[in-house]
Amino acid sequence: MYNYILEKLPYKSSFRFIDNVSELNENGVTGDYTLEKDAFFYEDHFPGQPITPGVILIEIMAQIGLVILGIFIINLSDNSSEGQEGILFPLLTSTDVSFYKMVLPGQKVTVVSKKEYFRFNKLKCNVQMFDESGELVARGIFAGTIGKVKIKS
């Protein structure tokens, strides 16, 4: 329903960890991602018993819970940027994440993010990740800045 926003992401193919955005408004976002069984990071983490690295789970949470929401909010509030060259570029400035379950290859995860505040292009969110059975996988506080970056040719 809100997948038009995926075209605005600065990530491409192997490093975009979002399949679907099911809810999106100025106060939060919900989206999901199914981890590919043959993703590059499973080869060595861990051979014969692959599990999703925590850093990949953090990246999924950040892309859905912070970047998607930030781009949406910036686009809502910044009509002056129309026609200007550049892309919206996210910078993650801090995270505080706790993990509760492992995520295996092929599993689908859902991320739910609620905005705590957005001011001066800084966004802070409470982000949770759930597995397909609705059990909490991870939760944390994510903060970052999102702004336009001009592309030099």
DSSP state letters, 107-122: -EEEEEEEEEEEETTE
Among candidate residues 34, 59, 32, 56, the one with its CA nearest the CA of residue 45: 56
**Once rounded to an integer, what is the mean pLDDT over residues 119-138?**
96
pTM of the predicted model as reported, rounded to 2 decimal places? 0.90
What is the per-residue pLDDT for 81? 46
**Once rounded to an integer, what is the mean pLDDT over residues 59-84?**
80
How far from 99 is each of 33, 90, 135, 145, 152, CA to CA, in Å? 17, 24, 12, 24, 40
> Which residues are tagged catalytic?
45
**CATH T-level assignment (fold) for domain 3-149:** Thiol Ester Dehydrase; Chain A (3.10.129)
> Across the chain, what does the average pLDDT equal?
89
